[in-house]
Every structure is written in structure tokens, then in C-alpha cells.
Amino acid sequence: MATRPITGEERAFMTGNEVVAWAALAAGADIMYGYPITPQNEIMHYWTRMAPKYGRGFLQTEDEISAGFATVGGVLAGKRAFTATAGPGNVLMQEAMAMAEMMRLPTVVVVTQRGGPSTATVIYSQQELNLTCFGGNGEGLRIVYSPSSHDELFLYTIKAFNSAWKYRFPTFVLGDGYQSKMREPVTIFDPETRGITMEPCRPMVGLPGLPGEEREPAHLRNTYNLEEELYEVLMKAIKAYDSVAPQVMEWDVYAVDDAELLIIAHGVVSRAARAAVAVLRERGYKAGYFRPITLRPFPAEPLRPLAGRARHILVVESAYGQLKRQVQAGLYGISTPVTGYLRPGMGITLEEIVEFVHEKELI
């Protein structure tokens, strides 16, 4: 049976869902657990076609509660397990992800955001930011990547498996419906050829040896009896999260050095934002662009000096202020005014952004 799905590098023209399936294969993912939901379905479709050829597994569960918990189980067994979902499925999965957070389990979830709330549309949105970053009953000790292109979708899906196992926090790739269904050129590659070594996985249960005699039994728990006990465990996890956050944080900037207007966006919308900045620059306006690649941990530190220098900040998102709130929290104490171009569940074009900038006289 073949083991390496990609040798070296290959150019391809494919949909985002296909990219995710290839990335998971290339990353050496062992098994996917999933429940159908649009716009994520084709990740499962491609995976079920390719996985048997490379000795990888798949189980279609009865719902997302089950898919999330089965992924937890796969991870406990020491496998590079993952799942993918969207919208109401993402809601159901939070129960399992809260457990993964508590137990520091390296789960990987690819979220293909669709319109919300509730079932809403199956098309597109950026409204699952709050849910994905903070959706569980807990403190949101997660890593959330927001890719903007198919190349990044490939890269960050692979990276998600590595970050999850390296830092041991639930890790999410927060894509969206447009990325899922859109075709664009992409370079797919074997991680090794780019010097990426996959973090080793290790089982947390089912270890060799007779438990109680040859080894300590694994007694993993998610329940604590005493306030003090829980507090201690949580503070340890929070400290670990805070200490790795600077290594995990990623962001992208363009034309920021002298920017008077700083446009902030994430995911596919950032492509329109970047293009809008280019147009504004052509017209002689000092616009710049900042994109958080990790939404959790949020890269507030690198953003603060740029925001402090700017005269105005514009947050552009296909949600009603989910990113804007993160930005404002991160910029607390900085007096630069923040405006939002907020279009929940709607795609955003560069022309709209440029027009909005002129109309509101932000520059």
C-alpha cells in the first residue's frame, strides 16, 4: 500500500475542500471522523476516496457530538485524528472540544464557516469566529488559524496537526464556504521536502504493559471535585497557553510603515482588504493592512504599535463585529478610532471597501 500521497511538490487546481483532504493525507492524518454538513462535505468525499489507498481510516458518525468525541478518542489512542464541520455542527462539537481543552488533547477540527445563526445558509460567512475561539464552557485555550488562500489552507491544515501535538491544545482551521467550494491554483507538497517534520503522536491510553503491575494505569479525567483542584489544573493550562502564545501567534502586514488608515481583516476577506489597500495607495492615500492569521491567540502585541501610529482603523468582516471586538480588546488603551464595515454572512469585494473608505472619509 502506498504511504506517501505526494512526493515532492505538485501544482494543482482544486477546491478548498480537496486541498484540506490532501493536506490531511500529506500530514499523515490517520483517521477522520465526520458527519455530513455543507459546505464541508467534500472533505469527507475526497478523504473517503483516497484514505483506503493510503491505509487511513474513516467513520461517519451519527452526529457531530459523536464526531467530536470520536476525534477525542482517536487522539487518546495516539492517532493523528481529525474532523471537519460547520455552523450548527460546530455548535454541537463544542462539547467535545471543551473536554479536549480541559484534558489538553491535540484534536484538529477544520471549520468551513457558513451563515448563521442556527442553520441559516449553507454558503458562507465569518460568523463562527466567536464560537471557534471561545465556544466551550471554559477559557478558550485553543489555537485557531484563519487561512486566506488555498496555499495557506494546505499549509495551515498541516500546521494544525503539528501545533496541536506540540502545544497540546485543540487546534482549528477556520475556513469558510467560499474557500471550500472555490477552485484556485495551489502547490501541494510533502511536508518533508519543505523541512517540516511532523510532530510525533503518542497514545495516552492502551500503552504496553499490564496496568497496575508493569505500568501505572492511565487515569485521565475531565472532572474535578474541588474548586482548588480545578483552579490549580486550569491555572497551569492557562500559564502554558500564555507562555506558548507568542510562538504560536501569526500575522501578516502590507504597507503599514506610514499607514494612516489601517485596514484589518482575516480569512478570504483579507484578500479584498489587501487589494483595497493597493488601490488606495495607487490613488495616493496612505493605507495599510493587517491580518491576524491566528485568531486565537490573537496577535495584539504586533498590532498595537501600528494601530497607535494610524489615524483610523477599519475592521472589515463578514460578521457583525466578531473580529472588531477582538481588535478593540487587543487595542485597549489606544485611542485610534475603530470603524467596522460589517456584513454578516455576505461576501465583501475590494470595490465595496474602497467606496466605504471614501464615503466615511476615513482617509
| Identity of residue 1 | M
Using CB positions, name the residue nearest to ligand TPP.
37
CB of 113 to ligand TPP, least distance (A): 14
104: left (phi over 0), alpha (psi -120 to 50) or beta: left
Closest Cα to residue 134, out of 338, 345, 344, 297? 297
String of contacts with another protein for each residue 7-36, x by CB under 8 A:
---------------------------xxx
Asked if residue 59 binds ligand TPP (CB under 6 A), the reply is: no
- Look at residues 46, 36, 32 and name the one whose alpha carbon lies nearest to residue 188: 46
DSSP 85: E
Q: Nearer to another protein by C-beta: 36 or 337? A: 36
Q: Does 121 bind another protein (CB under 8 A)?
A: no
Count of residues interacting with another protein (CB under 8 A): 21
> What backbone torsions phi and psi does residue 71 show, to the nearest 5 degrees?
-65, -40
Q: In what order do the strands lie in the sheet with 338-342?
A: 251-254, 287-292, 261-264, 312-317, 338-342
48 binds, among ligand TPP, another protein, none (CB under 5 to 8 A by kind): another protein
Q: Judged by CB under 8 A, does residue 58 bind another protein?
A: yes
Name the strand (E) or helix (H) holding 110. strand 108-113
Under the criterion CB under 6 A, does residue 131 sit at the interface with ligand TPP? no
User: Could you tell me the smallest distance in angstroms from the CB atom of residue 112 to ligand TPP?
Assistant: 12
The DSSP line for 43-57 is: HHHHHHHHGGGGT-E
Question: Interacting stretch for ligand TPP, rule CB under 6 A, among 88-96, 146-154, 163-171, 253-261?
Answer: 88-96
Minimum gap (Å) between residue 183 Cβ and another protein: 17
Q: How far is the CB of 44 from another protein (least distance, A)?
A: 5
Q: Is 226 exposed, middle or buried (0-12, 13-18, 19+ CB in 10 A)?
A: exposed
Determine, following the binding rule CB under 8 A, whether residue 62 of this chain makes contact with another protein: yes
| Residues near another protein (CB under 8 A) | 34-38, 41, 44-45, 48-49, 52, 58-64, 88, 118-119
